[in-house]
Amino acid sequence: MAALGTLDSANLNGGQKLAVKFFTVAIALFGAQVLFGMLAGIQYLNPDFLFGVLDFSVNRMLHINAMVVWLLFGFIGAVYWLLEDESGTPVAGLGLGNLMFWVFTLAVVVVVLVYLLVQVGPGELKSIWLINEGREYIEAPRWADIGIVVCVLIFFYNVAATFMKGRFTGIGGVLVLDLVALAGLYLAGMWYTPNISMDQHWWWWVIHLWVEATWEVLVGCLLAYGLVKTMGVRRRIVETWLYIEVALLFGSGILGLGHHYFWIGTPEYWLAIGGFFSALEPIPLVAMVVHAVFDAGHHKLKSSNNPALAWMIAQAFGNFFGAGVWGFMHTLPQINLYTHGTQWTASHGHLAFFGAYATIVIAFVYLAVQKWRGNVWMSGDMAGGWKWKWAIFLLHAGMIGMTMALLVTGYEQSQVERAIGGSSWIAYFEAQAHVWFVQGMNWRMVSGWMFATGFVLLAWDLMTIGKRETRPARSVEVPAAAMA
C-alpha cells in the first residue's frame, strides 16, 4: 500500500474506483455549468456579446444540461462509492458498470459538441432525434435518451444485484426502490406530441418527480450514509430518519406535482391540490435539517472529514432554504399567477439545485479524495485547510448573492411585467429595462464571479487536499453493539 497522502487507487474498493471516475467527470461538468452560466449572465447585460455565435439559448441550454448531467454523475458516483461498504460485498457486474461509464461520458461529449456546433435543426422529427429536443432540462436528443435509459438500467442492475448478493440495509432498500422510480419516470419524457399541454404534463413527471421526489430521497440515502461515515451516527437513528423523510417527501412531493399544473391547460382542481401539497413540501426538509444538525451537535462536530461534514450541513440548510423556503414563497397559485416564468423561478432554481444537490455531491467527493489518499487526516488543523473553507465560503456567498439579486429582479418583473403590464411583449421589455432589473442583473454578475472563483478554489482543493498528510483519519467508528 502506498504511503499516506498519495493518490493511489489501491486504497479504493472496486465500486470506489469506478466512483472516482464519475466524480472526476462530474466536477469537470460543474465547471462547464459555471462557464456557460457566466456567458448567459453577461448576455443579459450586454446582448451583443457572442450574438449569432453562442446565443443565449445555447449557453442557457448548456448551463442547465451540464447541471443535470453533473449531478447525475455525482449521484451515480456516490452510490458506487457506498455500495460495497453498505452491502458488505463487491459490486456485481462491475465490468459492465465501467463500460457504462465510458459510453455515458462519450455520449455526453457528443451531445455537447452537437449543441455547440450544430445548435438548431429544421422543424422535423429528425432534429429531435439527432440534435436537440428543445424541451427544457431534457434537451438531449432522443438517441441520447435511449442511451441514458440503457446506462441507468446497467447502474440499477449493479446496485440491486449487489445488495441482493450482500446485505440489504435500510439505506439499500430505499435506494433500490428509489432508483426504480427514477429510471421509470425518465420514460415519461421520451415521446413527441403536437399538443403542448400534453407534452408539458408528462414533461413535469420527469422534471418534478425527479427533482422534488426521487432525487430528494436519493439525497436522503446519501446523507444518511455520510452521517454514519463521518461522525459514527448510529444506524438505527439515520434509518428511522430516512423512513420519516421518505414518508414526508413522497407524501408531499407526489401530489405536489400539481403546482406545475396551474397554467398549462390542466384542470382547475390542480390549483387546490397543487397549492396544498406543495405547501407541505418544506416539512421533510425541516426534518432533514433537524436530523443533520442534531446528529452533528450530539457528536460535538467531531468528524473524520470536516469538509464533507461542512458540505452536508450546508446541504441540510441549502435544501431547506433553496427548495423549501424559496419554493414555498411562490407555490400558491394566487401568487404564482404573477411569478410563474419570471426571475423568481431562476432565484429559486439556483439556490435549490445548489443547496439540495450540488452540496451533497461535493461532500461525497471530499469523502472520496480522503480515502483515495489512504484515508488521511481531514479533521481540524489541516495543511492548506484555508482552501476548502474559502471555497465553501465563496461558493455560498456567490450563490446567496445570485439568489438575492435574481429575487429582486423577479419581484420587479412580477410587478411591472405581470401585474401591471399583463405579460405582453411591451410589458416584458419595460420590466427588463427597469433600473431595478438592470441593477439586479449587475449584482448577479458580481456574485457569479465570486461563485466562479469559489469553484476554481474548490477544484484546486479537491486535487490537493490531504497531499503529503501523514496522519491517519480520526476514528469515529461506534462500538459494534450500537450499530444494531
Partner 1 sequence: MSETQTLWWASESFWKKMAVWITAGSAVVLIFLTFDTVNQITAGGKRVPPYSVINNRIDYVFDEKRNYQVPVIGPEEPLFGKVLNEAEAMALVSRGKLTTQAKNCMNCHTLLGNGAYYAPDLTKSWLDPMWGSKETREETMVAFLMDPTDKLHNTIGRRMPNLGITEEEARATVAFLKWMSAIDTNGFPGNFPTIDQSDPAPAPESVSAPTETPAL
Report 49-68 residues binding partner 1 (CB under 8 A): 51-52, 55-58, 60-61
Tell the smallest beta-carbon distance from residue 97 to partner 1 (Å). Answer: 28
Q: Which of residues 231-290 bind partner 1 (CB under 8 A)?
A: 236, 239-240, 243-244, 246-247, 250-251, 254-255, 257, 261-271, 273
DSSP string, 354-399: IIIIIHHHHHHHHHHHHHHTTSB-BSSS-TTTHHHHHHHHHHHHHH
Among 2, 136, 146, 456, binds partner 1 (CB under 8 A): 136
Residues from 431 through 450 that contact partner 1 (CB under 8 A): 432-433
Compute the distance between CA of residue 104 and CA of residue 109 in angstroms, rounded to an integer: 9
Task: Please identify which residue in 343, 359, 370, 403 interacts with partner 1, judged by CB under 8 A.
Answer: 343
Given the complex with partner 1, which of 97 and 327 has the nearer CB atom? 327
Which C-beta is closer to partner 1: that of 387 or that of 418? 418
28-36, 46-54, 77-85, 463-471 -> range binding partner 1 (CB under 8 A): 46-54
Alpha helix (H) residue ranges in 232-358? 235-256, 269-280, 282-298, 306-318, 326-329, 333-339, 343-352
Q: Judged by CB under 8 A, does residue 477 bind partner 1?
A: no
Which CB sits closer to partner 1, 275 or 324? 275
| Of 44, 81, 317, 326, the one binding partner 1 by CB under 8 A | 44
Instruction: Kindly write down the DSSP assignment for every residue of 167-208, as one continuous string.
Output: ---HHHHHHHHHHHHHHHHHGGG----S-HHHHHHHHHHHHH
The piece of 31-39, 103-111, 199-207, 394-402 that touches partner 1 (CB under 8 A) is: 199-207
- DSSP class of residue 424 equals -
Site for partner 1 in 207-236 (CB under 8 A): 236
Surface-to-core class of residue 47, CB atoms within 10 Å of its CB (0-12 exposed, 13-18 middle, 19+ buried): exposed
Footprint on residues 66-105 left by partner 1 (CB under 8 A): none
Number of residues that bind partner 1 (CB under 8 A): 88
Minimum distance of partner 1 from residue 56's CB (angstroms): 5
What does 56-80 look like in DSSP terms, one character per residue?
A: HHHHHHHHHHHHHHHHHHHHHHHHH
With respect to partner 1, which residue has the nearer C-beta, 138 or 356? Answer: 138
Residue 385 backbone dihedrals phi, psi, to 5 degrees:
-65, -15
Comparing CB distances to partner 1, the nearer of 333 and 374 is 333
Shortest reach from residue 46's CB to partner 1, in Å: 8
Residues 111-130, interacting with partner 1 (CB under 8 A)? 119-125, 127-128
Distance between CA atoms of residues 27 and 34, nearest Å: 11
> Scanning residues 296 to 335, which ones bind partner 1 (CB under 8 A)?
333
CB 56 within 8 A of CB 36: no
The H-or-E segment that residue 124 falls in is none
Binding mask 170-189 for partner 1 (x = CB under 8 A): x---x---------------
Single-letter amino acid, residue 455:
F
Cα distances from 61 to residues 132, 180, 350, 475, in angstroms, run: 10, 27, 15, 44
Cβ atoms of 473 and 305 closer than 8 Å? yes
> With respect to partner 1, which residue has the nearer C-beta, 49 or 328?
49
Residues 350-409 within binding reach of partner 1 (CB under 8 A): none
* Least distance from partner 1 to the Cβ atom of residue 383, Å: 38
Written as nine digits, the cell of 146 is: 435511449
Within 403-422, the residues that bind partner 1 by CB under 8 A are 413, 418-422
Which is closer to partner 1, CB of 198 or CB of 279? 198
| Dihedral angle computed from the Cα positions of residues 386, 392, 394 and 397, in that order, rounded to the nearest 10 degrees | -140
Among 183, 329, 337, 397, contact with partner 1 (rule: CB under 8 A) = 337
